[in-house]
Structure formats: structure tokens, C-alpha cells
Structure 1
Amino acid sequence: MKVILVDDERIALEHIRNLLSWEEHGFEVAATASNGRSALRLCEELRPQIMIVDIRMPVMDGLELIRNVSERKFGVKFIVMSAYEDFDYARQAISVGNVSSYLIKHEVDRMKLLLELNKAREAWESDEKQRRAGRSEQLMKFVTGLEMATIQMENQAKPPFAMLLIHGDFPFSAAPAISGWMESSQPIHWTTEEINICSEQPSWQLLGEFALNRNQFIVLFTQKDKSAALQRESFRELAAAIHTHLQGRCRQSYSIFFSFQNQAASSLPHALRSMEAAARHAVFCGKSRLLCTDELLIADQDNINLLPVRSIHLEELIGVMNQNDSEGIASAVNKQFQSICHPHWNLAALYELIHALSGLVNKRLTGAGHTELDPLNSQEEALYHIDQIKNRFIKILQKLCSGKNEYEPISNKLLKALRYIHAHYHTEINIEDVSRATGISASYLHQLFKRELERTFLDYLTEHRIIQAKRILIQEDAKMTEVCARVGYRSPQHFSQVFKKTTGMLPHQYRQGGTLL
């Protein structure tokens, strides 16, 4: 915590400086001054948290200095020093505000000084917490577009800007994440250590920070020297330092996306949209990354609706699978994934491709007498990068064509039951219906489901219905009541409850996540 000592008597300055081992107690004597005018200039330059000020000084006295600093709203806390006869002046200083204590010069000793410094520090930290909360709220409303640009914001924030988005990494799922948020993620907290890292950067000044949601955090900076060229490299160093610190103190991994804006503050909402889009496309770059969004292959979010819609065609892949061509499978899958990465990262097409490939996998599995599977929901490693997803599908499809029967087959009796479920899941069926249709007793069917699939009849029916509901929600614009009816639920409320219990989100949230780009 920076401290400036102000007194026109050099002996008094040296006495105060030598009373403490300042750094041992978390303080730093950043400068000394012999009059109020010099102290005001140092205050503007160094931005101290505490000033120890004599009352009687030439050029500008302590009382005038306190008024000037308070008017500039620097947030400085003052410890006033004076002789007995200056008590009236000290009382005036205290009435101005921001004065945490008053000391009689000849009574100051080490313990008294340390006590008053700690009181000033606590007062400054309390005020700073409120100031930061106010700045963060104003910044959040401005940057997220909840309020139009205000004159106050325009006056406080001048370009160039750099905005940084801290994003908690989580594995990719075929269930789209909603605005970068996941149930299992840990909330991000901005600590004093990160603030100190920002404050130590000579080229950039921290304007404010706020939580965008549980899993994302926004920090805004302005370049200190407005006349200089954009200091990109110095900000990269700052972002890298923050990233390293976060990775060291947190179990969860984080990615940081940042963007530069050389235009007015009104351009910041657009910068935020670009960074949110980058975070949603994190699967294209992987986890624990430090990336400038200005350099990524993401379509302009203001023109996203102008992008052509891509259709998924699997004829080539099906052909090489029919020929049991392992290399051909890898080549065909590679082509499909390359097509959704260039010229822009296409997240909607990735979800479509995953659903198409999953459908192909399960069609082959059930046709060969195996139960369905979710290719991304595996006991293997979590998937963070698109190449991992691609390789997972290549591995599964090559296994299906290898002829080695690596997937555990299911009995003909259970297969008959599953085929009946797949044909009638949209109706109100129960295990007795399946029993009558297949000629297998209900009690024996219960045993087959538990022994071969390690789940109950109802568990399997529910899973299959939710898989079909996901497909409809992503691929069609059907009303929720229609979706509900098409997968065998009479009550939309019951359908929503089951869907949330299975996926962790409500049906409309799943649909929004799938179309949000």
C-alpha cells in the first residue's frame, strides 16, 4: 500500500520514515514532499492510498491539499499531523472528509503510527470495495448494453481499450452450453492478487471488472499513454501474468480471451459480443488458452445470420464403412470436421455433425444387435478440443467396421424389446405392453434390462425419449407441446422435469444453447 509523507520540515520527514520497517507491515513510502503543491502533483502521478500530511506548509498547506485531493476523488485516506496550537486547522481538515486520524507531532511513536496506518488501510479498503462495486455495476450495464452510453462513461473511459474475458474451461458436450455457463463450474472470483498484477503494469490502467455469469469474468483496461501506439505486446504480457496466476491458484483450468478497441467506448458492447462468441467456440481451440479474439476465425457476430447454412452429407463415409475401409473412414471424417472449421468456425454445424454421426453410429449398433451409446458420454478422457471429438468418432466407426465385435452384443430377446421401444417410444408404453408384444414375461424383461444394460426398463425408455427430444429441439422449430407429445409425454411440465433431471437444463435452455452463436 503506497504512502506519501508531506511535511516542510526535513527532520520531521526523516523521523516518520525511520519509525517503521514499512514493507514488513505491507506499506511502501512511495515519495516525500515539502509542500502541498508538490504533494498534489505526486498524488496525481503515483496514486497513493494513504498520505501523512502536516497542516502548516508553504505554497499550499495541508488543509488545501486535502480539499484538492478529495475533489479529484482519488480515494486517498489522510493522517493529519500538527502541533497542539494547530488543532483548529486539524478539525477543519477532518470535517472535509477522508481524514482517518489526527496525530500530535511530538507524541508520535512507532506503535501509535502503525495503529493509525492500519486504521487508514482498513478505511481505504472498505471505501475501495464500495467504489469498485459501483464502478463494476456501471461498467457491466454499459458494456452489456443494459444502458446506453452515458456522458460519464465516455468521459471516464477513453480509447485505446483492452478487454479481457476469463472463461472457466469445461468439457464439450453434445448438450450445448448456455452463454458459457455450466452447472459444474466453479464461480470465478477476482482477488487482490489479480488486482495488484494489473496495477503493476506500466502501460495499462484497470478501469473495472464484473462477473458476466458464474463461469465468466470481464476485466476492462485503458491504455495510460493515449498518444502512443497501441501497446499490444505489453497487454499480452499482462494477460499472460493473470493467466499464470489463475492457473496456479485454482484447480479448474481457465482460458483467457482478449480484444483491443481503438475506437470510442461505444464500441465496447461489440467487443464483448465477440469475446462471448470466442468462449462459446472454445472447443475449436481447446482448454487453458490465452487468445486474442481479433485473430480468431469467428464470423462477425453482427452479421452471423448472413452465413450460409451447411448441410451434413455422410454418403462418402457410409460408402467407405460398407467397404470396411479403415483409412477411408478416417479420411471421410476428417473432411467433415475440416469443412466446419474453414473459413470460419461453425458451431451450429459442429452440433449438426455430432448428431448426424451419433445417429449413424447408433443405427449400426442396433442393427448389429448392440445397445445405443452416446459417443461423447464416455468413460474415456474428457473432450475439450474438436480434434478429440473427431478422433473419438473415427475410433468408434473403425471399431464398428473391424469385425472384431468389440461392443458387447445383447440377446435376441432383449433386442426384440428394444426394437419395440424404438418403434413405440412416442406412445404411452410400459413394460407390460412390451411383454405382450414380444411374448417375454415382464419379470424376465426386468432381469434382462438389469443384467445386460445395467439399467431398468424405465431408465432406458427415458434415455431414448430424451435423445429423440434433443434431436427435435436442435434440428426443428417445433413448439414445446409438440416436442413433448412426439416423445411420449402427455404433460409438458412432466417432460420438462424429466429433461432437466437427465440433462441438467430445461428444454428451452437446451434449444437456446444450440442456436446461440
Structure 2
Amino acid sequence: MRKLKVLVVDDEMPARETLSFLINWKETAFEIAATAKDGRDALDKYYSLHPDLIITDIQMPVMDGLALIKTIRQENSRQKFIVLSCHEKFSYAREAIQMGVTDYLIKDLITPQDLYAVLVKVEKELEEQKTVIPPGSGKNVPAERDEFDDALRNMALKTIILENVPAGAKQSLAERFGLNLTGHYFVLLLVQLDDYEKKKNILDYSAWKEVKERIYYAIKDALEGGLGGECFYYQNGQFILIARLEEIGSQLKFISQSYEIADRLHRKVRGAEKASYTIGISQGFYGLTDVPLRYREALEVIKYKIFFGKGKILFYNKIFSRLHAGNKDMMAKRIIQIQRAIDENNRAQLSQEVRALYREDVQGFMQYNYLKETNAQMYGLIAGACHASRITYADLFGCNYIPLHQLDDLDTASEMGEWFQNVFVHLIALKEKIDDKKYSRHIKDAMEYIAANYRRNIGLRDVAKALNLHKVYLCRLFKQETGENLINYILKVRLEEAKRMMLSTNHKLYEIAEQVGYPNIQQFSVVFKKLTGVTPREFRNRNFNP
């Protein structure tokens, strides 16, 4: 099947290259057949190439994108265009829409999903063009006119909410398009379709469009049940709306009115499209001047569904008054414990620590950026364990990199913890397969004996006797396969267990010494400092300050 040809027009080479790498074009019905650096260059290539789709920037030297569209439209009114620009100005968008472009996307905001969706839309329009409409068939012009008007209204609303333009200009737009934004006091709500990526991936373009429309009209219905307002679909499963409120005399009244609107929204959208929705609520505001700031507030508070879970109603002012510092030291201890569980192939300990980290420590900490830092440390554990055991990412993930996008698609801290737990369990299974091949039966038996008996005063003679081997033969074999002598290995096992207990318990140092096989604290301290360079007390103080 012939690929549909795409001509990309942009005066910036990085922008042209970014578009070519943003998606896997082989998965689409399109291919980038050529690129052009300005409108005049694009015209030359248009006549020789006859592309099915032109993706063009607006502001370019020699000939800009709008002039390019006008020129080609004079000769071919059916040519498909997508405008891709840094400019989210209403004037640009309105002129592009009036010229009949298929879509208008913003460079800094476009996602692979956005581009995939609009390509499907273009493909469908091209298929429809192949169907000849018989004369007198009565093409639905009024419906097209309504769709055109809706597009202009949405662009005006986007300008009011997302752009920092003068309040007078925003008010003029609201009046020109009859937007229901009269009044003095408002609240902005962001309705986020949870699991957006999963739903989007299983639906084709037409089905996804129907889902968006059902949710949109449910939101409109909810707004009409109150004092009114306006809404539009933005991107990535987000619906933005401004709702009118009564004059507020207290914070309690604001919360009560806002919650009533959000609760009505929840019921309406769930009834229209069965799914989970998280709603972020900004602070209240007068007039339209500060709407972009209120949008950022609602967007910021939506992030905290990571901690609270999906399907919640989240207030910006209430959430941020509840942020607290938490115990960073406890979280650091969890990371150390997870590292130890990986080293020891201890699945039970690993599961316990990961669950505690993501369901107790992280959620108790309540800082979004700290969650990112925690995830980064967990990535480090994966990379370190793979390197130490010579496990490739291809063996672990089925690709030659850590698939960070999988974690980005998750909505809650608990889901992230489950993802890491599954990765580590798989990692341990791969390590065990390697260990089975790496060590002989005698050495594996020796390690198992030491792990079970290191708390006793054991040595080379005890291990050799338990395995029914000559001690000289065992000593030589152990050194040959592990690279260290057996006595040092026993000391290392005791030392690591002692470190774990110092960082994860409140036991006294003399109690820890006894539990790892030393008759007294003095001998334990001498050995510990010899191997680590610090005393047990110094080690605990440096790594954990309760």
C-alpha cells in the first residue's frame, strides 16, 4: 500500500528533525517525503512532489506559513495542512482555521499521542475525499458551520485561559463569542481522565472523538446545573473549565460551592463515560486577568493524585497547606534495605521494603519532586544490579534501555512501587540463573551454610566439616570461584548484616555485635573499623540521624 507523502516546512532545522523523531512514522500511513526551510522552498517542492499532507510553521522568512497555505489553496482547495507553531495567539489560530487547516498544534506542547491522533484524522479526511458526493445530495453545511464556530469559540477560550493577554482583550473575546463568563468571581477546574493513555491506545480516532464529546457535553450539563461557565478539551485527557461562583464571604463558603460543582461534575462525567476522573480545583479569582495562574494551580494539584490515588477531588489551597517535610532518613534507609534485598536475592524482604517506601514513606512525605528523586535512586539500583551481575537491559526489559516511559504512564505512587517490585523480582530471577551457572555445587553449599550460621563463631574448619570436604581443598576452590578467601567472606556477611541492623533498627551496638557472631563489642568494633575505616558508632551517625 502506497504511503501518504508528507512535506514538513520549518525554518529551524532542529524543529524539522524533532518532528521526524517524535513518532515512529513506519507505524502510520504517512512518510516524510521532503522538508523545506521556508514557504518559497516549500512551493517549489510542492509542485514536484504533490504531497498528501503539509505540516508547516507559521512565522518563516521569505514566505510565511499563512501565505503558503493561501497560495496553495488557490490551486488546490482540497490540500491538507497541519499548522505546527510556537504561537498560540488567537489571531494566528483563527486565520489558520478559516483557511480550513485540519489542526493547529503548539510546538512546545505537542506529544507523540497528539501527532498520531491528528495523522489519523487527516487519513480519515483523505479517505472521505475519495467519495464523490452526488449533486443534490444535501451536504450538511449547517453542521460544518457549527463545527467551525465551535473551533473558534474553543480557540478564544484557550486564549483567555492559557495566554497572558490584557484583561480587556480577554473580555472582548468573551463578548464577541458569547462565552458564559459574565460575573465577577470564578473558579477553574481541571478534569483529568485517569488512565488516559490506556484508553487512548485501545480506541481508534472516531471512537476516541466520541468519548471526548460525551465527556464534554456531560461537563456542559454540569455547568448549566450551577451558575454556568465554559469548558473545552485541551490535551492528554484534560478538560479545562471555568465555573461562575456567587460572591464569597469566607473560605468555607468557597470550598463548599467549589466542591458542589466538582461533585456534580464527577457524577455527570462518570454517567456519560464510565471511567475514573481526578478533578483539580484552583483558588477562587475575580475577573479574567489571572486565569493562566489558576490553570497552573489546578494542573499542579492534579499531580498529587500520585499520593492520594485516582478519582479524587483535590483543592489547591488545601493540598499545599498539608505538605510536610517527612523523614528523609527513613526513606534513605529503605533504599539501603532494598539494595541489600537485591544483593541477597531476598524476595520477601524486597517486597516489604518497596511497599513500605511507596505506600508509607513517599506518601507521607507529600513532595512531588522528592518522588522523582526516589524514582531516580531506584533507577540507579536497577542499573547497578544489572552491571554487577552482567545482566543486559534486553534480558530484563526486552529492550536496550530502561523503559522510563512505562513509569511515566502510571498515575499513583502505589502503581510505581508495583512496577519497581516486578522489575526487581525479575532481576533476582535472572541473577539466580547466573549464580547457578557461576558457582559449583560445593561453593553454593558453602554460601548457604554461612548464611544460615554466621551468627555462630564459625570458621573454615566448621564449613569444611559441614560439607564433608578437606579444608585446604575448600579454601582453594572458594578463592578460585569467588575471588576472595572464605574467612573474609564470612566477615563480609557479618559486616553487611551489622550495617543493615544499624540503619534499620534501634538496637544497641553491643546487641548487634552479639547477633552477628561477635562475643563482645570490642572485637566487633576492631573488625568493623579495619574493614570500613570507621567505627560502628561513626557509621551509624553518618548514615542515620533519627
TM-score, L = length of structure 1: 0.41
Higher relative contact order (CA 8 A, sep 6+): 1
TM-score, L = length of structure 2: 0.39
Report which of the two has the higher share of helix.
Answer: 2
